[in-house]
Amino acid sequence: MLLERPGTPLRSVELPHPKPGPGDVLLRVRACGVCRTDLHIVDGELTQPRLPLVIGHQIVGETEDGRRLGVPWLGWTDGTCRYCTTGRENLCDEARFTGYDLDGGYAEWAVADKRFCFPIPEGYGDLEAAPLLCAGLIGYRSLRLAGDPERLGLYGFGAAAHIVAQVAAWEGRRVFAVTREGDRAVQGFARSLGAEWAGAGAPPEELDAAIIFAPAGELVPAALKAVAKGGTVVCAGIHMSDIPSFPYEILWGERVLRSVANLTRRDGEELLALAPRVPVRTKVEAFPLERANDALAKLRAGGFEGALALVP
C-alpha cells in the first residue's frame, strides 16, 4: 500500500520484490501495526518522508528460515555520532526510520537491517506482537523517563497506554487514565487493564507523573496542573498541536516537562523481555492489508479499544 503524496489515500500497487542489501534480512510480513505516526506521515504533519513510500513501522515478519523478527521505527543509525556513542542512538542525526526514510511494513515483504530487528517473544501471536513494536516501546521509554511515580496519569488511552498501563500496574503504580469526554467503553477498558480511575477532565488526586499520548497540545498545561511538585510530564508523541501558553506557576515547584523521541535498541530488548513476564496482553483488531486506508480512518476517529494492525 503505497503513499505517493501526503494528503492522498494509500494506493494498492505491485512493487518489485525488495532485495536485501548486505546486513539486511528479507521478511515475509505477517502483521504490521498501525500507529498514529503513520497518520502524521499520511497527513503531511511529518514533512520529510521518502516518496513514494511504504509506511508502517511495527512489522512482525518471518525470515526464510522461519524465525520471527520485529522491525521497529528505528531502522538505522550511523553508530559514530555523539548521540550514538553515548547510549542515545534514538537521537542520532543521521538515523533512518522505518516507514519514513525506509520502506516499511504495509506490504507483503519487507527488508530490514538485521542489527535493528528484535526476536519476537514466544507466546505472542503475530498480530498480538505487532503493537509492542512501537506503541509498547514508546510507552515503555516514556514510563522509564517519567521517573518512579506512585501515581501515574495516562492522557489518551490508545494502543500505547493500553500496554503501558499493564506494565505500570504490574510495577505497583497507581494508574489514572484520562480519556475524552464520554469515552465510556475506553474508560472501562482502562480499568480492566489496571487503571484505578478512568474518566475525562482532572484526575481525582494529584499525580506524580503524567504521560501524554494524545497529540493535543492543550493537554500539556492540563497535565502540569495535575502533577504534584517535583512531578514529570512526558510528551510521548512525535507530533503535537501547538501548546497554549501557560503561567509559569504550573511549571514551578521543580515540575519537569519533557518529550520522548524514538527508541533505542536497549528499550526494545528490555520491553520484549518484560512483556511476557507481566504478562502484557494486547488487544488488536486486524484489517486486511488492502484495507489500510480504512484502518487509518478508524485510528483517526478513535474511540476503540487497543490497537489496529494490518495482515497481508
Q: How far is the CB of 301 from Zn ion (least distance, A)?
A: 18
| Cα angle, residue 162 at apex, residues 245 and 238 outer, rounded to 5° | 40
Between residues 132 and 195, which has the closer beta carbon with respect to Zn ion? 132
Cβ neighbours for 278, distance < 8 A, ≥ 6 positions apart:
166, 167, 170
Between residues 227 and 234, which has the closer beta carbon with respect to Zn ion? 234
Comparing CA positions, the residue from 176, 225, 230 lying closest to residue 203 is: 176
Between residues 42 and 198, which has the closer beta carbon with respect to Zn ion? 42
Residue 120 — left, alpha, or beta (φ > 0 → left; ψ -120 to 50 → alpha)?
beta
Q: How far is the CB of 9 from Zn ion (least distance, A)?
A: 20
Q: How far is the CB of 72 from Zn ion (least distance, A)?
A: 8
Q: How far is the CB of 120 from Zn ion (least distance, A)?
A: 17
Q: How far is the CB of 165 from Zn ion (least distance, A)?
A: 18
**What does the alpha-carbon distance between residue 59 and residue 69 come to, in Å, rounded to a whole number?**
8
Q: How far is the CB of 231 from Zn ion (least distance, A)?
A: 26
CA torsion sign for 121, 123, 125, 129 is: negative
Cβ neighbours for 232, distance < 8 A, ≥ 6 positions apart:
145, 146, 147, 149, 208, 209, 210, 255, 256, 257, 258
Q: How far is the CB of 253 from Zn ion (least distance, A)?
A: 32
Q: How far is the CB of 201 from Zn ion (least distance, A)?
A: 27
The x, y and z cell numbers of residue 248, run together, are: 509559569
DSSP label of 139: H
Please report, to the nearest 10 degrees, the dihedral formed by the alpha carbons of residues 89, 95, 101, 103 taken in order.
-50
Using only the alpha carbons of the chain, give its radius of gyration.
Answer: 19
Between residues 10 and 92, which has the closer beta carbon with respect to Zn ion? 92
Between residues 198 and 310, which has the closer beta carbon with respect to Zn ion? 310
Between residues 120 and 227, which has the closer beta carbon with respect to Zn ion? 120
Between residues 39 and 198, which has the closer beta carbon with respect to Zn ion? 39
Cβ neighbours for 216, distance < 8 A, ≥ 6 positions apart:
156, 240, 241
Between residues 77 and 282, which has the closer beta carbon with respect to Zn ion? 77
- Residues forming contacts to Zn ion in the complex (CB under 5 A) are 35, 37, 77-78, 81, 84, 92, 134
**What does the alpha-carbon distance between residue 226 and residue 229 come to, in Å, rounded to a whole number?**
10
